[in-house]
Amino acid sequence: MIKLIHILFLLAVPHFVNASSLPTYPFIHANGVSTLSIAPDIAELDFDIRSLAATPQESKQQLEEASQEIVAFLASNHIDRSAIDAYDTKKIVSEDETSANEKTPVRYRLLRSFHFFVKDLNQWVTITDFLLNKSYIGNLSATFGRSDLDNIHRQLVLGAINNAKDNAKTMANGLTVKLGSATAISESPLAKLGGVIGLASSAMTYVSNADQENTERGERTDLAIPGALRYKKTVDVIFKIKQ
């Protein structure tokens, strides 16, 4: 359900504002905001496969065996190999190390990064449980989103426009004037007017559940599916005042 949030108005401006930056007719400027909270339906996973051995060949073999295990598991969960991005990121020759169970020093480290989409979140627990139980996997992180962003964008724009119109009507009623037709609208602050009154940039954004950060991705390291993603859109509208 779209939440419409009351925001900002402009009926008159100080005498020192450059008149060429503003409309020449009496006007009301309103900002409209809408938000939409909706559960995610897709996700992305990123992680590294790590290997460590006494020789480069052994380390490479470990990496390949782990990669094959991962790809086979994902295939069994209907994630095609063509949908998986994998690339070697680091080759490190470290100081000799000896683990608690092995007396042979090891020093050749290899890392391979994986990235893929999960388009059916019913698979989420099965996939993440498997990955979390593999000792050779590190840097596991998740990003959640929606597959229907175009539709979400349309809903938010319409909601923000209606909110702007309601705000403008409220201002007009409070000043006992009649609201006229819209003469300008923008999903970003109107260029000249925004420069005059100091409006910040706006766009459709994903808003974190904690409302502390706007981001397109919403990265999480606990791998839990969020209850809802909250998207936000603002618009700027200029309405004439009827004479």
Of 207, 178, 202, 208, nearest in space to 190 by CA: 202
Mean pLDDT of the chain: 79
Average pLDDT (229-233) is 94
52-83 pLDDT per residue, tens: 888 889 999 999 999 999 999 999 999 988 88
Beta-bridge partner residues of 210: none
Of 171, 170, 162, nearest in space to 234 by CA: 162
| CATH fold label, 42-145 | Alpha-Beta Plaits (3.30.70)
Is the Cβ–Cβ distance between 144 and 231 less than 8 Å? no
Q: Is 72 left (phi over 0), alpha (psi -120 to 50) or beta?
A: alpha
3-56 pLDDT per residue, tens: 333 333 333 333 334 444 667 788 899 999 999 999 999 999 999 999 988 888
CATH 3.30.110.170 for the 2-38+148-242 domain, yes or no: yes
81-107 pLDDT per residue, tens: 888 999 887 777 666 555 555 566 777
Cα Rg of the chain, angstroms? 27
Can you give the residue ranges of every domain in the chain? 2-38+148-242, 42-145
Number of other residues whose CB lies within 10 A of the CB of residue 43: 24
Query: Are both 2-38+148-242 and 42-145 of the same fold?
Result: no
Residues 86 and 68: their CA atoms lie apart, in Å, by 11
Beta-bridge partner residues of 109: 52, 92
114-132 pLDDT per residue, tens: 999 999 999 999 999 999 9
Is the Cβ–Cβ distance between 132 and 140 less than 8 Å? yes
Q: What is the reported pLDDT for 40?
A: 95
